[in-house]
Amino acid sequence: DTGVSQDPRHKITKRGQNVTFRCDPISEHNRLYWYRQTLGQGPEFLTYFQNEAQLEKSRLLSDRFSAERPKGSFSTLEIQRTEQGDSAMYLCASSGRRSYGYTFGSGTRLTVV
């Protein structure tokens, strides 16, 4: 296991289209987190899973955002009807225990044109 993988690395989409990002965490990690990061800012927490349960989703930016983690393995983040303001880096991180810190993926950079 080489770390947290995110796919795709870059996504350019037209406004109004739906996009889906995938995150594969470190296999033994049961916690998985999604963040949005805009230029010059720190990561902004969106949602997290413990195994397959989504324990916090109130921070998702709007009802256009949704996330899933079927079977407690990989996760997907979907943005429907994309807007230019959705352009950002979307980061995924996983953790085995909250005290150990979080291993981040390289992120998916979304550009909405």
Partner 1 sequence: AQTVTQSQPEMSVQEAETVTLSCTYDTSESDYYLFWYKQPPSRQMILVIRQEAYKQQNATENRFSVNFQKAAKSFSLKISDSQLGDAAMYFCALGGLTFGTGTRLTIIP
- Tell me which stretch binds partner 1 (CB under 8 A): 18-26, 40-48, 61-69, 76-84: 40-48
Q: Which stretch binds partner 1 (CB under 8 A): 19-27, 35-43, 61-69, 73-81?
A: 35-43
Q: How far apart are CA 96 and CA 16, in angstroms?
A: 36
Q: Can you name the residues that pair with 88 across neighbouring β-strands?
A: 110
Distance CA 67, CA 82 (A): 15
Per-residue contact track with partner 1, 67 to 96, x per CB under 8 A?
Answer: ------------------------x-x-x-
Q: Which stretch binds partner 1 (CB under 8 A): 21-29, 69-77, 78-86, 104-112?
A: 104-112
Binding residues (CB under 8 A) for partner 1: these are 31, 33, 40-45, 48, 56, 59, 91, 93, 95, 98-107
